[in-house]
Structure 1
Amino acid sequence: MSIKKAILIELEREKENTKRIISRLKNEHFSYKPHEKSNTLGVLANHIVELHNWVDFVLTKDTFDFHTDYQQPKLSSVEELLQTLEADFLKNKAIIEQMDETVVFENWTLKAGDHVIVSLPKTGALRFLVTNHLVHHRGQLTVYMRLLDIPVPGVYGPSADDKA
Protein backbone atom coordinates (compact mmCIF):
# COMPACT_ATOMS: atom_id res chain seq x y z
CA MET A 1 0.00 0.00 0.00
CA SER A 2 1.28 3.48 -0.81
CA ILE A 3 1.76 6.23 1.74
CA LYS A 4 -0.88 8.27 -0.09
CA LYS A 5 -3.46 5.50 0.15
CA ALA A 6 -2.74 4.92 3.84
CA ILE A 7 -3.17 8.64 4.62
CA LEU A 8 -6.36 8.85 2.57
CA ILE A 9 -7.92 5.82 4.29
CA GLU A 10 -7.26 7.32 7.71
CA LEU A 11 -8.50 10.78 6.72
CA GLU A 12 -11.73 9.46 5.26
CA ARG A 13 -12.45 7.30 8.31
CA GLU A 14 -11.80 10.18 10.68
CA LYS A 15 -13.94 12.51 8.56
CA GLU A 16 -16.82 10.02 8.77
CA ASN A 17 -16.35 9.70 12.54
CA THR A 18 -16.45 13.48 12.91
CA LYS A 19 -19.48 13.70 10.63
CA ARG A 20 -21.41 11.22 12.81
CA ILE A 21 -20.75 13.35 15.88
CA ILE A 22 -21.31 16.79 14.33
CA SER A 23 -24.55 15.71 12.66
CA ARG A 24 -26.13 15.05 16.07
CA LEU A 25 -25.48 18.57 17.35
CA LYS A 26 -28.14 21.26 17.51
CA ASN A 27 -27.50 24.88 16.56
CA GLU A 28 -29.14 26.07 19.79
CA HIS A 29 -26.40 24.34 21.82
CA PHE A 30 -23.50 26.27 20.22
CA SER A 31 -23.21 28.62 23.23
CA TYR A 32 -23.20 25.79 25.80
CA LYS A 33 -20.17 25.60 28.14
CA PRO A 34 -19.87 22.79 30.70
CA HIS A 35 -17.47 24.89 32.81
CA GLU A 36 -16.32 28.50 32.94
CA LYS A 37 -12.84 27.44 31.74
CA SER A 38 -14.26 25.44 28.81
CA ASN A 39 -14.79 26.60 25.27
CA THR A 40 -18.34 26.76 24.02
CA LEU A 41 -19.66 23.78 22.08
CA GLY A 42 -19.62 25.94 18.94
CA VAL A 43 -15.97 26.92 19.34
CA LEU A 44 -15.00 23.31 20.03
CA ALA A 45 -16.97 21.98 17.04
CA ASN A 46 -15.37 24.62 14.80
CA HIS A 47 -11.91 23.61 16.01
CA ILE A 48 -12.62 19.93 15.35
CA VAL A 49 -13.74 20.65 11.80
CA GLU A 50 -10.80 22.98 11.17
CA LEU A 51 -8.31 20.34 12.32
CA HIS A 52 -9.28 18.21 9.33
CA ASN A 53 -8.00 21.01 7.10
CA TRP A 54 -4.65 21.13 8.86
CA VAL A 55 -3.66 18.34 6.45
CA ASP A 56 -3.38 21.11 3.86
CA PHE A 57 -1.25 23.29 6.17
CA VAL A 58 1.11 20.41 6.96
CA LEU A 59 1.53 19.03 3.44
CA THR A 60 1.72 22.29 1.49
CA LYS A 61 3.78 24.44 3.87
CA ASP A 62 7.07 24.02 5.69
CA THR A 63 6.07 26.36 8.50
CA PHE A 64 2.80 27.42 10.08
CA ASP A 65 2.89 30.56 12.22
CA PHE A 66 -0.08 31.20 14.49
CA HIS A 67 0.65 34.95 14.37
CA THR A 68 0.41 35.26 10.59
CA ASP A 69 -1.26 32.12 9.20
CA TYR A 70 -4.06 31.34 11.64
CA GLN A 71 -7.66 32.48 11.32
CA GLN A 72 -10.12 31.06 13.83
CA PRO A 73 -13.17 29.67 12.02
CA LYS A 74 -16.59 31.04 12.91
CA LEU A 75 -19.06 28.60 11.41
CA SER A 76 -22.40 29.10 13.09
CA SER A 77 -24.51 26.07 12.19
CA VAL A 78 -24.32 22.31 12.01
CA GLU A 79 -24.95 22.56 8.26
CA GLU A 80 -21.95 24.88 7.78
CA LEU A 81 -19.75 22.57 9.85
CA LEU A 82 -20.75 19.52 7.77
CA GLN A 83 -20.33 21.36 4.46
CA THR A 84 -16.88 22.62 5.48
CA LEU A 85 -15.85 19.18 6.70
CA GLU A 86 -16.75 17.62 3.34
CA ALA A 87 -15.23 20.43 1.25
CA ASP A 88 -11.97 20.33 3.22
CA PHE A 89 -11.79 16.55 2.83
CA LEU A 90 -12.14 16.84 -0.95
CA LYS A 91 -9.45 19.55 -1.05
CA ASN A 92 -7.10 17.48 1.11
CA LYS A 93 -7.77 14.37 -0.95
CA ALA A 94 -6.73 16.24 -4.12
CA ILE A 95 -3.56 17.53 -2.40
CA ILE A 96 -2.61 14.02 -1.30
CA GLU A 97 -3.37 12.41 -4.66
CA GLN A 98 -1.09 14.94 -6.40
CA MET A 99 1.77 15.03 -3.88
CA ASP A 100 5.12 13.37 -4.19
CA GLU A 101 5.20 10.84 -1.34
CA THR A 102 8.63 11.99 -0.19
CA VAL A 103 7.03 15.25 1.07
CA VAL A 104 5.87 13.43 4.23
CA PHE A 105 9.52 13.01 5.29
CA GLU A 106 10.28 16.73 5.00
CA ASN A 107 10.42 18.83 8.15
CA TRP A 108 7.47 20.97 9.27
CA THR A 109 7.49 23.65 11.94
CA LEU A 110 4.66 25.06 14.03
CA LYS A 111 5.45 28.38 15.65
CA ALA A 112 4.01 31.51 17.21
CA GLY A 113 6.12 34.37 15.97
CA ASP A 114 9.73 33.60 16.89
CA HIS A 115 8.73 30.85 19.33
CA VAL A 116 9.00 27.34 17.82
CA ILE A 117 6.26 25.15 19.29
CA VAL A 118 7.30 21.97 17.49
CA SER A 119 9.41 20.92 14.53
CA LEU A 120 9.10 17.39 13.16
CA PRO A 121 8.69 15.41 9.93
CA LYS A 122 5.39 16.08 8.17
CA THR A 123 4.29 12.49 8.73
CA GLY A 124 4.65 13.08 12.48
CA ALA A 125 2.81 16.38 12.22
CA LEU A 126 -0.09 14.62 10.49
CA ARG A 127 -0.29 12.10 13.31
CA PHE A 128 0.47 14.39 16.27
CA LEU A 129 -1.11 17.71 15.31
CA VAL A 130 -3.93 16.53 13.09
CA THR A 131 -5.19 13.05 13.99
CA ASN A 132 -4.29 12.81 17.70
CA HIS A 133 -5.35 16.40 18.33
CA LEU A 134 -8.61 15.77 16.46
CA VAL A 135 -9.39 12.59 18.40
CA HIS A 136 -8.72 14.40 21.70
CA HIS A 137 -11.14 17.24 20.94
CA ARG A 138 -13.77 14.93 19.48
CA GLY A 139 -13.70 13.07 22.80
CA GLN A 140 -14.25 16.36 24.61
CA LEU A 141 -17.22 17.10 22.37
CA THR A 142 -18.82 13.75 23.18
CA VAL A 143 -18.69 14.69 26.87
CA TYR A 144 -20.53 17.92 26.05
CA MET A 145 -23.08 15.82 24.16
CA ARG A 146 -23.54 13.46 27.09
CA LEU A 147 -24.09 16.43 29.45
CA LEU A 148 -26.70 17.83 27.04
CA ASP A 149 -28.37 14.40 26.76
CA ILE A 150 -27.58 14.18 23.04
CA PRO A 151 -27.12 10.52 22.03
CA VAL A 152 -23.42 9.86 21.41
CA PRO A 153 -22.72 7.85 18.25
CA GLY A 154 -20.22 5.03 18.19
CA VAL A 155 -16.91 6.06 16.69
CA TYR A 156 -14.56 3.08 16.99
CA GLY A 157 -17.29 0.69 18.07
CA PRO A 158 -20.78 0.98 19.47
CA SER A 159 -21.54 3.54 22.16
CA ALA A 160 -23.82 3.08 25.14
CA ASP A 161 -26.48 4.93 23.13
CA ASP A 162 -26.07 2.54 20.19
CA LYS A 163 -26.69 -0.38 22.53
CA ALA A 164 -29.80 1.14 24.15
Structure 2
Amino acid sequence: MILQSLIAEFEHEVNSTRKLLQAVPEKDLEYKPSQISWSMGELAQHIATIYYWYVGTLKQDVYDMAADTFERGDPGDIKATLDLFERNVEKARTALTSVSEESLQRQWTMKVGDQTVLGPMPRAAVVRGFLFNHIYHHRGEMIVYLRATGNKVPGMYGPTYEESGPGK
Protein backbone atom coordinates (compact mmCIF):
# COMPACT_ATOMS: atom_id res chain seq x y z
CA MET A 1 0.00 0.00 0.00
CA ILE A 2 2.73 2.49 0.95
CA LEU A 3 4.85 1.42 -2.01
CA GLN A 4 2.03 1.97 -4.53
CA SER A 5 1.51 5.47 -3.15
CA LEU A 6 5.24 6.27 -3.34
CA ILE A 7 5.47 5.04 -6.92
CA ALA A 8 2.43 7.09 -7.98
CA GLU A 9 3.85 10.23 -6.37
CA PHE A 10 7.28 9.57 -7.89
CA GLU A 11 5.85 9.30 -11.40
CA HIS A 12 3.73 12.44 -11.04
CA GLU A 13 6.54 14.51 -9.56
CA VAL A 14 9.18 13.36 -12.07
CA ASN A 15 7.12 15.06 -14.76
CA SER A 16 7.01 18.29 -12.74
CA THR A 17 10.75 18.16 -12.10
CA ARG A 18 11.41 17.55 -15.79
CA LYS A 19 9.32 20.61 -16.75
CA LEU A 20 11.21 22.74 -14.26
CA LEU A 21 14.66 21.61 -15.43
CA GLN A 22 13.63 22.11 -19.06
CA ALA A 23 12.79 25.73 -18.17
CA VAL A 24 16.37 26.45 -17.06
CA PRO A 25 17.98 28.60 -19.77
CA GLU A 26 21.60 28.16 -20.77
CA LYS A 27 22.14 31.93 -20.55
CA ASP A 28 21.44 32.00 -16.79
CA LEU A 29 23.35 28.94 -15.59
CA GLU A 30 25.94 31.11 -13.82
CA TYR A 31 23.32 33.14 -11.92
CA LYS A 32 23.72 33.05 -8.11
CA PRO A 33 21.39 34.94 -5.77
CA SER A 34 24.23 35.32 -3.24
CA GLN A 35 27.90 34.55 -2.79
CA ILE A 36 27.16 31.42 -0.76
CA SER A 37 24.45 30.08 -3.08
CA TRP A 38 24.87 27.53 -5.82
CA SER A 39 24.69 28.78 -9.37
CA MET A 40 21.52 27.93 -11.28
CA GLY A 41 23.49 25.27 -13.17
CA GLU A 42 24.80 23.72 -9.94
CA LEU A 43 21.30 23.70 -8.46
CA ALA A 44 19.87 22.02 -11.57
CA GLN A 45 22.66 19.45 -11.45
CA HIS A 46 21.99 18.76 -7.75
CA ILE A 47 18.32 18.15 -8.45
CA ALA A 48 19.26 15.70 -11.21
CA THR A 49 21.76 13.98 -8.89
CA ILE A 50 19.27 13.35 -6.08
CA TYR A 51 17.53 10.80 -8.29
CA TYR A 52 20.74 8.77 -8.29
CA TRP A 53 20.56 8.49 -4.49
CA TYR A 54 17.41 6.37 -4.73
CA VAL A 55 19.60 3.37 -5.60
CA GLY A 56 21.73 3.51 -2.45
CA THR A 57 18.76 4.44 -0.30
CA LEU A 58 16.56 1.60 -1.53
CA LYS A 59 19.19 -1.11 -2.03
CA GLN A 60 21.42 -0.67 1.05
CA ASP A 61 20.56 -0.60 4.74
CA VAL A 62 23.56 1.66 5.35
CA TYR A 63 24.32 4.04 2.52
CA ASP A 64 27.79 5.55 2.69
CA MET A 65 27.83 8.58 0.42
CA ALA A 66 31.62 8.82 0.72
CA ALA A 67 32.05 5.31 -0.67
CA ASP A 68 29.70 5.90 -3.61
CA THR A 69 30.88 7.38 -6.87
CA PHE A 70 28.44 9.00 -9.21
CA GLU A 71 28.50 11.16 -12.28
CA ARG A 72 27.70 14.83 -11.97
CA GLY A 73 28.83 16.29 -15.26
CA ASP A 74 29.25 19.94 -16.15
CA PRO A 75 26.86 22.35 -14.37
CA GLY A 76 27.47 24.79 -17.23
CA ASP A 77 25.74 22.47 -19.72
CA ILE A 78 21.98 22.22 -19.17
CA LYS A 79 21.60 19.60 -21.90
CA ALA A 80 24.08 17.38 -20.05
CA THR A 81 22.17 17.98 -16.81
CA LEU A 82 18.89 17.01 -18.49
CA ASP A 83 20.52 13.83 -19.80
CA LEU A 84 21.87 13.09 -16.32
CA PHE A 85 18.39 13.66 -14.91
CA GLU A 86 16.81 11.19 -17.35
CA ARG A 87 19.45 8.52 -16.67
CA ASN A 88 19.08 8.95 -12.91
CA VAL A 89 15.27 8.88 -13.09
CA GLU A 90 15.48 5.48 -14.79
CA LYS A 91 17.80 4.19 -12.07
CA ALA A 92 15.49 5.61 -9.39
CA ARG A 93 12.40 4.12 -11.01
CA THR A 94 14.03 0.69 -11.24
CA ALA A 95 15.11 0.84 -7.59
CA LEU A 96 11.72 2.07 -6.36
CA THR A 97 9.69 -0.48 -8.29
CA SER A 98 11.90 -3.33 -7.10
CA VAL A 99 11.57 -2.81 -3.33
CA SER A 100 9.02 -4.53 -1.14
CA GLU A 101 6.65 -3.16 1.47
CA GLU A 102 8.71 -5.06 4.06
CA SER A 103 11.96 -3.36 3.00
CA LEU A 104 10.31 0.05 3.40
CA GLN A 105 9.85 -0.71 7.12
CA ARG A 106 13.51 -1.68 7.71
CA GLN A 107 15.84 0.72 9.46
CA TRP A 108 18.11 2.73 7.18
CA THR A 109 21.15 4.88 7.90
CA MET A 110 23.16 7.35 5.84
CA LYS A 111 26.83 7.80 6.54
CA VAL A 112 29.59 9.90 5.10
CA GLY A 113 32.59 7.80 5.96
CA ASP A 114 32.49 7.10 9.70
CA GLN A 115 29.96 9.85 10.45
CA THR A 116 26.25 9.02 10.64
CA VAL A 117 24.33 11.93 9.10
CA LEU A 118 20.79 10.53 8.91
CA GLY A 119 18.99 7.74 10.70
CA PRO A 120 18.57 5.14 11.68
CA MET A 121 14.96 5.46 10.61
CA PRO A 122 12.44 3.45 8.57
CA ARG A 123 13.34 3.45 4.87
CA ALA A 124 9.82 4.69 3.93
CA ALA A 125 10.43 7.84 6.01
CA VAL A 126 13.75 8.31 4.23
CA VAL A 127 12.09 8.04 0.82
CA ARG A 128 9.63 10.77 1.79
CA GLY A 129 12.06 13.02 3.67
CA PHE A 130 15.49 12.60 2.13
CA LEU A 131 14.45 11.87 -1.45
CA PHE A 132 11.02 13.32 -2.26
CA ASN A 133 11.01 16.35 0.05
CA HIS A 134 14.64 17.11 -0.74
CA ILE A 135 13.77 17.42 -4.43
CA TYR A 136 10.71 19.55 -3.68
CA HIS A 137 12.81 21.89 -1.54
CA HIS A 138 15.33 22.45 -4.32
CA ARG A 139 12.59 22.85 -6.93
CA GLY A 140 11.27 25.72 -4.82
CA GLU A 141 14.72 27.30 -4.88
CA MET A 142 14.88 26.87 -8.65
CA ILE A 143 11.54 28.65 -9.04
CA VAL A 144 13.00 31.63 -7.17
CA TYR A 145 16.10 31.57 -9.40
CA LEU A 146 13.96 31.47 -12.55
CA ARG A 147 11.79 34.37 -11.44
CA ALA A 148 14.78 36.41 -10.26
CA THR A 149 16.30 36.13 -13.74
CA GLY A 150 13.06 37.04 -15.52
CA ASN A 151 12.34 33.54 -16.79
CA LYS A 152 8.98 31.82 -16.90
CA VAL A 153 8.12 29.18 -14.32
CA PRO A 154 6.28 26.17 -15.71
CA GLY A 155 3.01 25.16 -14.11
CA MET A 156 3.46 22.05 -12.03
CA TYR A 157 0.23 22.08 -10.01
CA GLY A 158 -1.89 24.18 -12.32
CA PRO A 159 -1.23 27.54 -13.95
CA THR A 160 1.53 29.74 -12.59
CA TYR A 161 1.23 33.44 -11.83
CA GLU A 162 2.83 34.18 -15.19
CA GLU A 163 0.14 32.13 -16.91
CA SER A 164 -2.89 33.37 -14.97
CA GLY A 165 -1.92 36.53 -13.04
CA PRO A 166 -3.38 40.01 -13.53
CA GLY A 167 -3.93 40.88 -17.14
CA LYS A 168 -4.24 37.23 -18.20
Task: Summarize the Cα distance change of 1:113–1:94 in structure 2 as closer, same or farther, 3 Å threshold.
Answer: closer
**Matched residue SS, 1:69:** coil
Taking every aligned residue pair, what percent have the same amino acid on both sides?
A: 28
Are the equivalent residues in 2 in contact too, given 1:146–1:152 (CA < 8 A)?
A: yes
- Structure with bigger helix share is 1
Are the equivalent residues in 2 in contact too, given 1:110–1:117 (CA < 8 A)?
A: yes
Task: State the partner residue of 1:102.
Answer: 102
**Matched residue SS, 1:68:** coil
Aligned residue type for 1:161: E
**Matched residue SS, 2:67:** helix
Which stretches in structure 1 are left out of the alignment for 5+ residues?
A: none
Are the equivalent residues in 2 in contact too, given 1:12–1:89 (CA < 8 A)?
A: no
Task: State the partner residue of 2:126.
Answer: 125
Aligned residue type for 1:63: V
Give CA deviations for 1:93-145 in whole Å, capped at 9, x if unaligned: 22233333211111111122222111111101111111111111110111110
Q: Tell me the matched-pair count.
A: 163
TM-score in terms of structure 1 length: 0.89
How large is the RMSD of aligned CA atoms in angstroms? 1.8
Task: State the partner residue of 2:81.
Answer: 81
Alpha-carbon distance between aligned partners in 2 of 1:90 and 1:12, rounded to the nearest angstrom: 11
Does 80-89 or 16-25 show the bigger shift? Answer: 80-89
Give CA deviations for 1:6-47 in whole Å, capped at 9, x if unaligned: 222111111111111111111232211111111111111111
Does 129-138 or 66-75 show the bigger shift? Answer: 66-75
Which stretches in structure 2 are left out of the alignment for 5+ residues?
A: none
Task: State the partner residue of 2:11.
Answer: 12
TM-score in terms of structure 2 length: 0.87
Does 112-121 or 95-104 show the bigger shift? Answer: 95-104
**1:72: Cα distance to partner?**
6.6
**Matched residue SS, 1:64:** strand
Moved over 3 A (4+): none
